[in-house]
């Protein structure tokens, strides 16, 4: 009886914490826009979003193939309990198999790497007419300096609609991470 009660307690804790964490998606941050990366706000954010979905679906396909292979192995090669099972053929040192399971992941990684690297190069270039913003990370807050407008703001970055912004980030004290959800990074 105790193991069943322990399992039910663990299951209840898991379900309860899952419900609690999923409820965070319904919280309103008091802003006009939700803090989500799934509604990209600009050309560069859409490019990052497209790359994310490409990698996501490739990873999903690999996951499904691996799980299907695992199910096939578990069903067809399980011990049937007859006692007369012979040892399966060992494939150690099979050059054909080793080439196949080396080439396939390499092709998958190349398929992901090519659009990723090209996107990185495109996203790091600033056009000459882009508005320059200096982002300075301080402990507990960010400073935004607009050199062309000679304006400084704290914790609020203002981006004019339709204007490309080139943000240069530095830190005043420690390592910081600046991330805007609608811009996908």
Domain co-membership, 110 together with 166 = no
Domain co-membership, 141 together with 116 = no
Predicted confidence (pLDDT) at residue 112 exceeds the cutoff of 80: yes
Residue 9 tokens read as 């307690």
Which residues constitute the domain of residue 162? Answer: 131-175
Edge to edge, the sheet with strand 165-171 lists 151-154, 141-146, 131-138, 165-171
Domain co-membership, 41 together with 98 = yes
Domain co-membership, 117 together with 147 = no
- The per-residue pLDDT for range 33-48, each reduced to its tens digit, is 567 778 888 888 899 9
Which DSSP string corresponds to 56-117?
HHHHHHHHHHHHHHHHHHHHHTS--S-S-PPPPPP-TT-HHHHHHHHHHHHHHHHHHHHHHH
Of the listed ranges 1-5, 96-100, 133-137, the one predicted with least confidence: 1-5
Using CA atoms in the order 46, 51, 55, 57, what is the torsion angle rounded to 10 degrees? 50
Domain co-membership, 80 together with 136 = no
- The per-residue pLDDT for range 73-102, each reduced to its tens digit, is 898 887 777 766 677 777 777 888 889 989
Residue 89 belongs to domain with CATH number = 1.10.287.90
Domain co-membership, 103 together with 120 = yes
Domain co-membership, 108 together with 140 = no
Predicted pLDDT at 24: 67
Domain co-membership, 100 together with 73 = yes
Q: Say if 158 falls within a structural domain.
A: yes
| Domains in the chain, number | 2
Q: Say if 19 falls within a structural domain.
A: no
pTM value?
Answer: 0.67
């Amino acid at each position: 009886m105790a193991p069943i009660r322990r399992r039910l307690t663990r299951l209840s804790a898991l379900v309860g914490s899952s419900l609690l964490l999923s409820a965070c998606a319904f919280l309103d941050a008091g802003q006009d826009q939700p803090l989500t990366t799934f509604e990209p706000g600009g050309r560069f954010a859409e490019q990052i979003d497209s790359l994310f979905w490409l990698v996501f679906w490739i990873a999903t396909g690999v996951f499904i193939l691996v799980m299907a292979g695992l199910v096939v192995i578990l069903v067809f090669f399980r011990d049937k309990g007859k006692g007369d099972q012979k040892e399966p053929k060992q494939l150690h040192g099979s050059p054909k198999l080793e080439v196949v399971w080396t080439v396939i992941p390499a092709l998958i990684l190349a398929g992901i790497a090519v659009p990723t690297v090209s996107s990185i190069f495109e996203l790091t270039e600033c056009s000459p007419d882009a508005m320059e913003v200096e982002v300075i990370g301080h402990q507990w807050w960010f400073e935004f300096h607009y050199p062309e407008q000679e304006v400084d703001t704290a914790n609020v970055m203002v981006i004019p609609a339709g204007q490309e912004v080139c943000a240069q980030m530095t830190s005043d004290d420690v390592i910081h991470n600046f991330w805007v959800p609608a811009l996908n990074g």
